Amino acid sequence: MQKLFSHSLRFLFAALLVLALAEEAAAKPVTIVLKNGKVVSGEIVEEAPEHIILITDFGQVKVSRDSIERIVYDAFTRFKSDSVAQNGEEPLNDRVVVHMKSGEIVDGFLLAKSRTMVMVQTEVGRLTVAKRDIRLIEYVASAYAERGEPVVLNLDNGTKIEGYVYHEDRNSLTINSNLGRLTIDKENLRSVEYKEVKFPQQKAVSQPTLPRATTAAAETPLRARRDVVELGYSSRFGSNYSPGIVSAYRSHFPLRSFNSFSLNAEGNLSLTLFSLDQKAFTGANVPAAVTATGGAMVTSFGAGLPVHFFPRAESPYEFYLAPVIEGHIIYTRLKKTFPSFPVLNSELVETNFRFGLANRIGIEWSFGKWRAGVNYNIHFIFGEEDFNHFSLHLASKLF
């Protein structure tokens, strides 16, 4: 009887242990923003120093940590209470503006830290940002830095102090500098600039991690606006003008990202030049010898809603489809000279405005801060000849 009771207690203890481990390892809802601008949402089923495995609506996805720009978790219920219980102090809550090396700006309250990450409360939720991607943290009301990390302090009076962070709390920051140990009142601190430091890779057991964060809104963080320059080759324009060249500029604005596609807004301006097709004025169909000169110029401007499709979460390329509403200013000039019949000489110069629709289909590759791609544009002009063009483009944030 005693053995049976002992076995029952062991079984009960094992069952409770399994339940506790299962609860601890339960899937964690998360949204991951990749460096190529794509967003992956799902539940974490495995975390390792090199990768994270998610279960999404499209199946299991393995994401390399090197490709992650930031992570937005959906569980932030224990951070403040745990921090107060363990340290007896309130967590950091400094108002900051984080300037990323990519040009993005994150505005919010600084909440937590690790050796490699910073967590900020923004309007769209609590975000974790890799410290290696941070150029400057600007403190609106106070300051923050990593203990023992080399920093440059910028004071309100213009003074710069270099040193290593020794201690930090809600009211002051203490650093070890060439002048000795200095304590700076955060009210006098304008910004803290992190110096470039490379940390060795560490194992999972020693790698510091941030408390889990949550999003306060359904929309996910997006990459910044980018500028697109384009150069291409256009087909014929009407019966009198031969193929020409096109140059274009587009300003691309992300609107919202999902697991497999993103919605964007775009404004564009393009210029297409066509030369005169001399073959149209020679041959048996021409009643008399004629010398023709002239050309055509089409200036187009419009707005569209491109949709980008992601084949895979970490794929370096993506497809896109961009319907556009356009306006066209069409300038044409055609001068005909008949050496044998001067009375037939003529010159026609016209400038017309036409509305139209366009559709652009293409593929784009990501190379860090730059993107490159090819596309095919179809232009339908109301009351005028249509034309198409094939282009190459480069994209980045130019200004």
Q: Measure the CA–CA gap between 71 and 239, rounded to whole angstroms.
A: 56
Going by C-alpha positions, the residue among 257, 347, 269, 344 that lies closest to residue 309 is 257
Answer for the pair 265, 245: CB distance below 8 angstroms, yes or no: no
Phi first, then psi, for residue 80 (nearest 5°) are -65, -45
Kindly report, residue by residue over 173-185, the tens digit of the pLDDT.
878 777 777 888 8
Answer for the pair 211, 112: CB distance below 8 angstroms, yes or no: yes
Q: Measure the CA–CA gap between 296 and 279, rounded to whole angstroms.
A: 16
pLDDT at position 90? 53
Phi first, then psi, for residue 206 (nearest 5°) are -110, 0
Going by C-alpha positions, the residue among 94, 136, 152 that lies closest to residue 119 is 94
Tokens of 243: 């193929």
Q: Which helix (H) or strand (E) holds 67?
A: none
Answer for the pair 41, 30: CB distance below 8 angstroms, yes or no: yes
Diameter over CA atoms, the chain: 127
Three-point CA angle 48, 126, 128, nearest 5°: 40
From first to last of its 399 residues, the chain has per-residue pLDDT tens of 555 555 555 555 455 544 444 444 445 677 787 777 677 778 888 888 788 888 877 678 888 888 887 777 653 333 333 444 444 445 566 777 787 888 777 777 887 777 777 888 876 667 888 888 888 887 754 444 444 567 888 888 888 888 877 667 667 787 877 777 788 888 888 888 876 544 333 333 333 333 333 333 333 334 568 899 999 999 888 888 988 999 999 999 888 877 678 899 999 999 999 999 888 777 656 666 788 889 999 999 999 999 988 776 567 888 999 999 999 999 999 998 888 888 888 899 999 999 999 999 999 988 877 889 999 999 999 988 889 999 999 998 887
Tokens of 41: 């949402």
pTM above 0.75, yes or no: no
Answer for the pair 48, 79: CB distance below 8 angstroms, yes or no: no
Answer for the pair 373, 365: CB distance below 8 angstroms, yes or no: yes
pLDDT at position 10? 58
